[in-house]
Amino acid sequence: MEKQPLPADDDKTETVESEVDALTGENRPQGLAEPAARAGWNSKIEYFLAQVGFSVGLGNVWRFPYLCHKNGGGAFLLLYVLLLLVVGIPLFFLELAAGQAIRQGSIGVWKYISPKLAGIGYSSCVVCFFVALYYNVILAWSLFYLGNSFQYPLPWEQCPKQGNITVKECEMSSPTSYFWFRKALDTTDSIDEVGSFNTNMICCLLAAWTIVCLGMFKGIKSSVKVMYFSSIFPYVVLICFLVRGLLLEGAKEGIIFMFYPKLEKWGELQVWLQAATQVFFALGLGFGSIIAYSSYNPKNNNCHRDAFTVSFINFLTSVLASLVVFAVLGFHAKVKVDACVASNMKTLSELYPQGLVNQTFNSSDSSPVAPELYSSWFREYGKNLPANLTDCDLEKQMKEGVEGTGLAFIAFTEAMSHLPGSPFWSALFFLMLLNLGLSTMFGTMEGILAPLSDRFKTLAKNKTKLTIFSCIIGFIIGLIFTQRCGNYFVTMFDDYSATLPLIIVVVFECFSVSWLYGADRFLDDIELMLGWRPTIIYKYLWKYICLLAMVGLLGVTTIRTIIKRPTYTAWNQETASNSDLPYPDWALAVLALLILFAMMPVPVGLIHSFLQDRKKPSRDSEAGQYSIVNTDETPMADMSELDLRNGFANSVS
């Protein structure tokens, strides 16, 4: 069976549309029309750079290593691969196939698959916008640190002094913590203290949005040119860091500490939940960006192979980043432990003449003491020593600051300050973070712009203006994150504004394809595209395993959010330390509104479809009535409006 192109590229489409409307007995929505000549990728390499660039982001560098370390090391890796195979890749394949078949953004895709759930696409756009707002702030932070990296010594290597006195807040914490909380963010003690705006961050945020706007100026034609650098450069940096890190003392201990398998962790529900959540967010499911990028592919592109390739590149990148992170953190921990042992040995040498030290430990020896020897001795005799002496534990040092911004802007930054040529490594690291964030931002913005342009003719004709306008709005709203308490808003948006809405979006996606439209019919459509039929296993994965996994994840996440008051980590200037504080009532109201606003299009779309059906009872709007891939052999009664339009266009031509 010969496949017809979808959508039609004939110039006579407008004439045909009126004939289609007469046959279907309804007026087409004014905006729902495919462009006469949709853009496409110049090569498969460009497409891979875009998909990999979007899915590989900051979470691969600072989220995955932390989860792996926290949840059993090698055991977590095995669990992650298992969930990737049975949940992540099938859902990723579903989105790739849907976008490629219909050649529309998320709004158009879900409207054609299931008119009753047309609001799914709009919800994806809203979530993408929320994510873009705070994600670009992280790029602004990276730009600030990148600009400060061209100094020697680095401004966060030493505590500043007021006269001859070291600043107390810095002395009580560390130079890197002080620079992050006081110089970069100038943060308040809580989210309630709104405070003034941070001028440096406003300038950096403006620069970040300007870069994104210039990169997206001509759609994928311009963004892909930037992706040649932004998607490849991070791998060059990671390999450089890995080679340098493996040569550092303590790197071996750091890597062993991370990857040592603790299989007993598999018995904890929390580990399964965090592994599933990481698979979900690592692939970028639900954003609509996967669908948008895939929609620019030719119909016969092997999206099944793409799903496996991109997913495993993403996983291997996470493993590579984890090797780098824990090699460097192992070195950092070794430096801290050696300093701790040296300090304690100095104290012990003063206590030794007083008989407070057991005679079996030769503390009078001036040669360096191995941390392992000191730790063993301390565990045996430490209870009888003064309280100011501590066990210099390597594992304890490895646990400090290994998550999120604490890893990138504090722990990793401090580790690099001990390297020879620290400004070079610092500039390289933050340039890598900037590029990782940019490639993800391009995908996020495409998840907004492509569906809207496909849905509305006016926006499609003015896509450049839409891009500029979106970036301006993003910058203006993003100013709330440049307040002195702005980093707390970033945490709030990151933890709650996208999590629940995205899971709900994917639940509806999976349900609409596998149950409303029909998994068998969807596999038929894929067979028409690819020329071969994927294994029937996908049918059962979509209908049962994936759907139940996402519903379970949604249920647990919702219950935990309700029964346990959400908290955030705040910096206390007086104690120079972090503390967990509950969100105030007004912040919880904002959280509820964000989630409600993101999900509102789904019920609105359902109600709208129901009302349309009542107005036109003869119209069958149930999903599964039409095939999303039309062929010459499709009966007229089973052809959708778009299929009819293509058929007429081909007959006229």
DSSP string, 484-508: TTHHHHHHHIIIIITHHHHHHHHHH
31-40, 169-178, 187-196: least confident range: 31-40
Share of the chain above pLDDT 70, in %: 82
Least confident of 14-23, 235-244, 623-632: 14-23
Task: Give the rounded percent of residues in the chain with a pLDDT score beyond 90.
Answer: 38
User: Which among 293, 286, 292, 313 is positioned nearest to 131, based on CA atoms?
Assistant: 286
Query: Two tokens at 216?
Result: 């997206």
Residues near 652 by beta carbon (within 8 Å), at least 6 away in sequence: 10, 12, 15, 16
Confidence class for position 80, pLDDT limits 50, 70, 90: very high
Homologous superfamily of 27-339+399-615: Amino acid/polyamine transporter I (1.20.1740.10)
Rounded to the nearest angstrom, the gap between the alpha carbon of residue 95 and the centroid of all alpha carbons in its chain is 17
Indicate if the pLDDT at residue 619 is higher than 60: no
Q: Is 518 left (phi over 0), alpha (psi -120 to 50) or beta?
A: left
User: What is the chain's Cα-based Rg?
Assistant: 28
Q: How far is CA 131 from CA 143, 476, 491, 492, 609, in A?
A: 18, 15, 11, 11, 28
Closest CA to 282 of 80, 108, 442, 536: 80
Q: Taking Cα atoms as reference points, which of 110, 23, 8, 207 lies closest to residue 522?
A: 110
Could you count the other beta carbons within 10 Å of the beta carbon of residue 249? 11
Q: Are the C-beta atoms of residues 115 and 24 closer than 8 Å to each other?
A: no
In the predicted structure, residue 310 carries a pLDDT above the cut 90 = yes
Say how many Å lie between the first and final Cα of the chain, rounded: 20
Question: What are the Cα distances from residue 369, in Å, to 16, 352, 353, 531?
Answer: 85, 16, 19, 68
- Highest mean pLDDT out of 214-218, 388-392, 564-568: 564-568
Give the pLDDT band (50/70/90) at residue 345. confident
Question: Taking 80 as the threshold, does the pLDDT of residue 592 lie above it?
Answer: yes
Q: CB neighbours of 586 closer than 8 A, spacing ≥ 6? A: none
Query: In whole angstroms, how far apart are CA 404 and each of 138, 417, 491?
Result: 11, 19, 10
Determine the pLDDT at residue 2.
35
Element (H, E) at 569: strand 567-572
- Put residue 369 in one of left, alpha, beta given phi > 0 → left and psi -120 to 50 → alpha: beta
What is the rounded distance in angstroms from the CA atom of residue 447 to the CA atom of residue 68? 29
Asked if residue 169 lies in contact with residue 180, where contact means CB atoms within 8 angstroms, the answer is no
Q: Is the pLDDT of residue 360 over 60?
A: no
| Residue in this structure with the two tokens 């020329």, named with its chain if needed | 531
Residue 649 in tokens: 């266009």
Look at the chain and count its residues.
653
pLDDT at 165 over 90: no
CA distance linking residue 53 with residue 438, whole number of Å: 8
Contact (CB, 8 A) for 473 and 150: no
Per-residue confidence at 258, pLDDT binned at 50, 70, 90? confident
Query: Is the model's pLDDT at 640 over the cut of 70?
Result: no
Region label for 103, one of left (φ > 0), alpha (ψ between -120 and 50) or beta (otherwise): left
- Residue 202 is predicted with a pLDDT of 96
Per-residue pLDDT tens digits for 388-438:
677 777 777 776 656 667 778 888 888 888 888 899 999 999 999 999 999
Average pLDDT over residues 288-313: 92
**Confidence check: pLDDT of 644 > 80:** no
Average pLDDT, the chain: 81
Assigned token pair, 580: 């967990």
Q: Is the pLDDT of residue 185 over 60?
A: yes
Task: Provide the 3-class DSSP secondary structure of residue 575.
Answer: coil
- Rounded mean pLDDT of 332-337? 82
Q: Kindly indicate the confidence band of residue 467, based on its pLDDT and cuts at 50, 70 and 90.
A: very high
CA distance 164 to 178: 18
- Residue 66: band (very low, low, confident or very high) from pLDDT cuts 50, 70, 90: confident
Over residues 635-653, the mean pLDDT reads 36
For 211, the token pair is: 């870069």
Task: Note the pLDDT of residue 469.
Answer: 94
Q: Which residues contact 478 (CB under 8 A, 6 or more apart)?
A: 133, 134, 136, 137, 205, 209
Question: At 347, is the pLDDT very low, low, confident or very high (cuts 50, 70, 90)?
Answer: confident
- Distance between CA atoms of 245 and 357, rounded to whole angstroms? 38
Helices (H) and strands (E) in the chain, counts: 32, 4
Lowest mean pLDDT among 16-30, 415-429, 596-610: 16-30
Extract the annotated binding site for Na(+): 53, 56, 60, 314, 436
**Which helix or strand (DSSP H or E) is residue 568 part of?**
strand 567-572
On the question of pLDDT at 540 being above 80, the answer is: yes
- Cβ pair 340, 390 in contact under 8 A: yes
Q: Which pLDDT score, from 0 to 100, does residue 236 have?
A: 92
Q: What is the pTM assigned to this prediction?
A: 0.83
Which pair of tokens denotes residue 440? 């993800």
Average pLDDT over residues 442-451: 91
Going from the C-alpha of 58 to that of each of 139, 275, 337, 440, the distances in angstroms are: 10, 17, 29, 9
| Residue-range domain boundaries for the chain | 27-339+399-615
Confidence (pLDDT) at 332: 82
Q: What is the pLDDT of residues 488-539, one digit of tens each?
A: 999 999 888 888 888 999 999 999 999 989 999 999 999 999 999 999 999 9
What was the pLDDT predicted at 441?
Answer: 92
Question: What separation in angstroms does the CA of 59 have from each of 5, 36, 241, 315?
Answer: 38, 38, 18, 11
Listed in sequence order, the residues at least 6 apart from 264 whose beta carbon sits closer than 8 Å to its beta carbon are 72, 75
Q: How far is CA 177 from the centre of its chain?
A: 25
Residue 251 — very low, low, confident or very high, per pLDDT cuts 50/70/90?
A: confident
| 3-state secondary structure (DSSP) of residue 607 | helix
**Contact 73/266 with Cβ under 8 angstroms?**
no
Residues contributing to the annotated binding site:
53, 56, 60, 314, 436
Token pair for residue 650? Answer: 């081909």
Tell me how many degrees the CA angle 378-380-385 measures, rounded to the nearest 5: 55
Task: Look at 564 and 19; give whichever has higher pLDDT.
Answer: 564
Q: H/E element holding 580?
A: strand 577-582
- What pLDDT, on the 0 to 100 scale, is given for residue 206? 97
User: How confident is residue 264, by pLDDT bands cut at 50, 70 and 90?
Assistant: confident
Cβ atoms within 10 Å, residue 45:
12
pLDDT of residue 3: 35
pLDDT confidence of residue 478:
94
The per-residue pLDDT for 511 is 92
Contact status, residue 178 vs residue 170, Cβ threshold 8 Å: yes
Cβ neighbours, 10 Å, residue 213: 19
Token code pair at residue 566: 């959400």
- Alpha carbons 524 and 618: distance in angstroms, whole number: 27
User: Is residue 144 pLDDT above 70, yes or no?
Assistant: yes
Structure tokens at 343: 């300090």
Of residues 89 and 10, which shows the higher confidence score? Answer: 89
